[in-house]
Structure 1
Amino acid sequence: MEPIQGNVSIDAQNIMPIIKKWLYSDKDIFIREVVSNGCDAITKLRMVDSAAAQNCSIHVEVDKAARELRFIDDGVGMTEDEVKTNINQVAFSGAKSFMEEYAKNEDQENSGIIGHFGLGFYSVFMIADKVTIDTLSFREGATPVRWESEDGMAFTMTEGTRATRGTTITLHVSEAESEFLEVWRVREVLDRYCSFMSVPIYLDEIKEEEAKVTGEGDNAEDKPEEKKEEPKPINDTQPLYARAPQDCTDEDYKQFYRKVFHEYEDPLFWIHLNVDYPFKLKGILYFPKIKEQFGGIEGQIKLYSGQVFVADNIKEVIPEFLMLLKGVIDCADFPLNVSRSFLQNDGYVRRISNHITKKVADRLTGMFKTERATYEGFWPDIHPFIKYGVMRDEKFAERMKDCLLFKTTDGKFLTLAEYKERNGEKLPDKMVYTSDPARQDAAIRLFTERGIDVTVLDQPIDVNFVSYMEYSADPESKFRYCRVDAELDSLTSTEDAPTLDAEKLTDLMREASGNKELTVEVKPLVNDSVPVMLVEDEQTRRFNDMGRIYGHSEYTMPAKYSVVLNSRSKTIEKLAAREKDERSVLLARQLYDLAELSRQPLEAEQMTEFIRRSMEIVDIAAQM
């Protein structure tokens, strides 16, 4: 062939500085692009000559001494015309024309060619100050071609010397990008982007001593030949998610989870996605064990396209609430942009996202219906995902509404319908819950001793969740959620209740608390176990709780609460009968602080005074 010199032909919008500066957000992505090209070349060979492609592979060589990074494949290679078309014209997709040529191939759907993303080769100029391509086409009578460029624009193309089918891309790494001459760095990038590519990839380090002729010296022939370990590919060409679910064991799923996400603790369970229609999608979603409160949960969904890593947690594909999970999603038909980093926003992506949501809901509802005990066992770990999901996604909420569970203080798990059935006679229009079973124990016992179930809603997400259930899940419903200290109407009984001087007790409690505006109520509760309670308005408390959770405590409202004195309590009865003196004020203040403790911790000064007063009361009791 005649030597050719020229400039790369590009479309107006695909200028090389844009490629270098904006097209790829991470420089290391060039490794993914070049290895993907090699993978495409071998995939093409499989289509035209499956026998020849049987043992094909990609080798990545790091030659630090020569400052070179080499990518070698034994795929179809390129002819002179193909180099002109695919390399000398930026933004032309060689894969597309190849697919058109072999459109009659019956295995076309499964060809797995990645190259239709385009432009990938030119990412090498982000780190190289010189690039060489040596290639020989598989076509009979083809002539080897050598292509060389220092800036990605001007090039020289001559007849090459390559004797075997395939392509070698040699990058002379610039001084500023020397990190890519470190084997550990290249391995790190290959592990990130290429760990599931469909062609075996080998990473080789070329050391200076290996370049010397072996056998130098008089005794070379006498030296025993060292047995070299068989090299192993750095990637898994048949990842677990690409297999049929029936061919995978529980241990396979757990090992894959540990390897991909570097986790030492097994997941709770998983969902294997294997969809052929209306699009091809494979993947595995894992439900991890929660180590912290909901606010500290961070998941990771890895997105692949044709077994090539694209990005983590792309919101267009993965519904927001599923970002709390860990998993791998692979769809060769994702409409990626030219840099393969972001999805183009279209209805196709939305359909994929909706389908993933449906599959997750199907798995959860199926477990609820057929493995209720297992589902209940997982509930403490998975309920934040599910509650967040029903609040964020209407379709998910519709599917999951009958599978929402509420744990009671005695360890039962009830659906909303089951709660209403068990407690509807005594509480027809509300569910009572506790946000702190230990602190609110006295109030809880008032309900449980009447046979009323108290549910536990003690996570930060529950503040929003109960409001969602009241006003969004079923707007027409009058059913409400009340904390055990929010209202006591269902816990009062006037039968055989003593009548006490409410005005006198109100005056005493106001003086003891130092609050002249304190609201005091005297009510006959169902038993005498609790002498005093602080009852706080449900809506005001929720608003303030939300402010604290989201870091907006400056917007909280003044607390609205009242002191309820139980007229059945012997302690309250004696206080009402006693003339107000120093000791009655002392006891009233102690009762007030005890009630306050069930609502929230006392301030440091209050606690000091509470302890001092407690000691004084103990001394008084000892003298009686």
Structure 2
Amino acid sequence: MTQEKGSLSINSENIFPIIKKWLYSDQDIFIRELISNGVDAIAKLRKLASLGEATVEENPEYRVDVVLNPEDKLITITDNGIGMTDEEVKKYINQIAFSGAAEFMEKYKESSEDPIIGHFGLGFYSAFMVSTLVEIDTLSHQQGATPVHWSCDGGSEYSMEEGTRAERGTTITLHVNEDGEKYLNTWEMRTIIEKYCSFMPVPIYLTNLEDEKRKAEEAAKKAEEAAKEGKETPPAETVPEEPKPLNEVSPLWLKNPNDCTDDEYKEFYRKVFMDYKEPLFWIHLNMDYPFNLKGILYFPKLGNEFESAEGQVKLYCNQVFVADNVKEIIPEFLLLLKGAIDCPDIPLNVSRSFLQNDKQVQKISEYITRKVADKLKQLYTNERENYEKFWGDIHPFIKYGCLRNEKFLERVQDSIIYKSAVTGAYTTLPDYLEAAKETHENKVFYTTDPRQQAQYIKVIKDQGFDALELTTTIDPPFISMVESKNEGVKFLRVDADLNEILKESDAEEDKKAQEKAEKLFKKALNNDKLKVRVESLKDESISAMIELSEQSRRMQDMMKMYGSMGMMGMPGGEDEILVLNKKNPLVAHLLESKKDDTAALLANQLYDLARLSHRPLEAEELNGFIARSQELMRQLVDKVDDSSK
């Protein structure tokens, strides 16, 4: 062929500078695009060979080779795929945005099985983001084809002439610019290939000529030193190490779920996410209609509530990495999971990095949500013991999903369980309400901190009731949602509305004791607004407790969450009620004593003891409590000394 020069034909307008600078969000994505093109070329050849439209050698070893040449500042990407004729180069390279992959798929769509990655024909031009000059050397698979050499310096002019390539396939040569020099590093390039190309369906090999040269020199030096000493060079040092591909051409998600072992799922998880805590369980997605989607989602084991607030769900298109945590595909609440999803039907934009708005995307998202819900129901029904073991880790996912997705809530609401703070066993809301029907119908007692609220839980237990543990930050909005979905059901924290728990005693007697207690405590605490109630608790060891209505406490929690506590004053305040147990010896002594020399001291101490079981004391309150404790112990010592004289 004769040498040809010309201008690149842009289908719409001269968008070449835009392609070079703005089409891709990450510069290193050129590696993904050029390797993807090589994989496409091999997929096309495989398809033609299977149809008898191309002749290839027996058992061909298809591969893509990435070679770094730091000395000459070159990167080459070579495939042994379909290759191109000069007419195809003119059509697919010189006319930007005319996708050969799109045309090929249209022609062979009825018989296409091998995935063709390219969609838009723009991936090749990402090479110019890091190059001063790009060259193509290609030879078509067609009999008698002439090799083609093409070059362009990044402007709109190109040069094309007969090439020298002798083997079928294509080599892209990048003369890297200053920005691209970092990609001449083996570690850097390996990291990028493993990020984008770990599961491409063709083996990918990486070679650094500088590294190979150094190895050869070291081997030659050892051989020379061995020869001088009259020794033979060890065989292992004379035989080159067999190169290994950087990718896994058949990822686990492509296998039938019935053919995968637990060990394979765990090994895949460790390899992909570098997480050596075993996942709790996983969901293997495998769908062919109405769209093609395969993948594996893992429920990770969290070290604490706030660890890994965002997981990592990798999105692939025909085994090509697209992005992490694409919210259009992965429902927001499932972004806490880890996994890989491969969906050839995803409608990507021209940079193959982001999704276009499409009804198909919504269908895929709904399918994933449904599969997760079905897996949870299956575990609840068939593996209840394991499900309960998982619950501490998975319930934030589930509750958040219920808050965010109505359909998910409908599917999993019967699988939501609650841990008893009294027995440690798990129960469902319907079972709890059924057990409480005779004593506190439609009321659900719960604790947000079993240690802090241990005294209240004891009172609950003494009354023969149960309380549920709801201890995470997702629980307050979750129980509000549950109340809204279950008419008449009311959640009450164990320190709220103790009248709902405590049995009524002698009303007349309690009234007299309460009048005296109010007068005594208001005076001692110098607080005219203090509310006091006297009760007869079964446990005599409990002296006093603080009660705060559920509505007031929820309001305070909400204000605290939004940093507005200053608008409401100190925690508790006027909404608190001091509940005194008249069976407690200290309280009985205080209410019956005629002396008031230590009454104020004891009253303040009982009040602070009640507050300590309700919430941590503020700094000033704690200082007062410590000083008062020391004073009471001093008085006790003085009395002991006096009695011994």
Structure 1 stretch displaced more, 149-158 or 60-69: 149-158
User: Aligned residue for 2:134?
Assistant: 131
Q: Please report how far the alpha carbon of residue 469 of structure 1 lies from its aligned counterpart in structure 2 after TM superposition.
A: 1.2
- Residues 1:553 and 1:238: Cα distance change in structure 2 (over 3 Å): farther
Match of residue 564 from structure 1: 579
* Corresponding residue to 2:411 among 399, 420, 438: 399
Q: How far apart in 2 are the matches of 1:502 and 1:240? A: 71
Please, which moves more after superposition, 289-298 or 197-206?
Answer: 289-298
Aligned partner of 1:188 among 175, 191, 195: 191
Tell me which residue corresponds to 1:326: 338
Matched residue of 2:82: which SS?
A: coil
Residue 578 of structure 1 pairs with residue 593 of structure 2? yes
The answer on whether the counterparts of 1:540 and 1:557 sit within 8 Å (CA) in structure 2 is: no
Hey, what's the Cα distance between the residues in 2 that align with 1:5 and 1:211? 40
Aligned residue in 2 for 1:600: 615
2:102 touches 2:120 (CA, 8 Å); kept in 1? no
C-alpha contact 2:436 2:442 (8 A) present in aligned 1 = no
Spell out the pairing of 1:62-211 with structure 2 (5 A cutoff).
62-104=68-110, 106=111, 108=112, 110-207=113-210, 210=213
Where does 1:348-497 land on structure 2 (aligned, <5 Å)?
Answer: 348-409=360-421, 410-471=423-484, 473-474=485-486, 477-495=487-505
Q: Deviations over 1:86-122 (max 9, x none)?
A: 0001111101222233345x3x1x2200012431000
Aligned partners of 1:290 and 1:297 also within 8 Å: no
Contact 1:19 1:122 in 2 (8 A): yes
Conserved 8 A contact 2:280-2:298: yes
Question: What SS does structure 2 have at the residue aligned with 1:437?
Answer: coil
Q: Give the whole-Å Cα distance in 2 for the aligned partners of 1:271 and 1:31.
A: 31
Which amino acid letter does the alignment assign opposite residue 272 of structure 1? H
Q: Report whether the alignment pairs 1:292 with 2:304.
A: yes
Name the stretch that deviates more: 614-623 or 186-195: 614-623
Q: Deviation digits for residues 55-108 of structure 1, max 9, x if unmatched?
A: 11000000000100000000000011110110001111101222233345x3x1
Q: Aligned equivalents of 1:100 and 1:608: distance in 2?
A: 80
Give the whole-Å Cα distance in 2 for the aligned partners of 1:10 and 1:556.
Answer: 66
Q: State the one-letter code of the partner of 2:276.
A: Y
Specify the SS of the correspondent of 2:481.
helix
CA distance in 2, matches of 1:283, 1:377: 25
Match of 1:346 among 351, 355, 358: 358
Instruction: Please state whether the residue corresponding to 1:481 is helix, strand or coil.
Output: strand
Contact 1:136 1:162 in 2 (8 A): yes
Would the alpha carbon gap of residues 504 and 230 (structure 1) be closer, same or farther in structure 2, given more than 3 Å must change?
same
Q: Matches of 2:346 and 2:196 in 1, distance apart?
A: 16
- Structure 1 pair 555/185, CA: closer, same or farther in 2 (3 Å)? farther
Segments of 5+ residues of structure 1 without an aligned counterpart are none
Q: CA deviation at 1:440?
A: 1.1
Cα pair 1:14 1:91 within 8 Å, conserved: no
Match for 2:125: what amino acid? Y
CA shift for structure 1 position 8: 0.9
Question: More deviation in 197-206 or 449-458?
Answer: 449-458
Amino acid at match of 1:465: F
d(CA) in 1 for partners of 2:566, 2:342: 45
How far the C-alpha of 1:365 sits from its partner, in A, is 0.4
How is 1:9-88 mapped onto 2 (pairs within 5 angstroms)?
9-12=9-12, 15-50=15-50, 52=57, 54-88=60-94
1:543-585 Cα deviation digits (max 9, x unpaired): 3323434555556676421112233434323222223623011
By how many angstroms is 1:519 displaced? 1.7
Deviation at 1:142, TM superposition (A): 0.8
Contact 2:137-2:163 within 8 A present in 1 as well: yes
Match of 2:643 in 1: none
One-letter code aligned to 2:406: E
Corresponding residue of 1:6: 6
Partner Cα separation in structure 1 for residue 141 and residue 560 of structure 2: 68
For the aligned residues, what is the CA RMSD? 2.4
- 1-side partners of 2:214 and 2:384: how far apart? 65
CA contact (8 A) 2:308 2:336 kept: no
- Distance of 1:582 and 1:315 partners within structure 2: 68
Quote the offset at 1:496 in angstroms.
5.1
SS at match of 1:328: strand
1:242 CA displacement = 1.2
Measure, in 2, the Cα distance between the counterparts of 1:81 and 1:605: 86
Q: Per-residue deviation at 1:539?
A: 2.2
Alignment check: 8 A CA contact 1:429 1:478 kept: yes
TM-score, scaled relative to structure 2: 0.91
Higher mean C-alpha displacement, 509-518 vs 404-413: 509-518
Q: For residues 216 and 579 of structure 1, what CA distance do their matches in structure 2 show?
A: 104
Q: Give the aligned partner of residue 271 of structure 2.
A: 259
Distance 1:556 1:45, change over 3 A: farther
- How many residues matched? 616
Gap regions ≥5 residues in structure 2: 51-55, 641-645
Q: Which AA in structure 2 matches 1:49?
A: A
User: Paired residue for 1:305?
Assistant: 317
- Shift in alpha-carbon separation, 1:487–1:139, aligned structure 2, 3 A: same
Q: 1:534 to 1:49 in 2, by over 3 A?
A: same
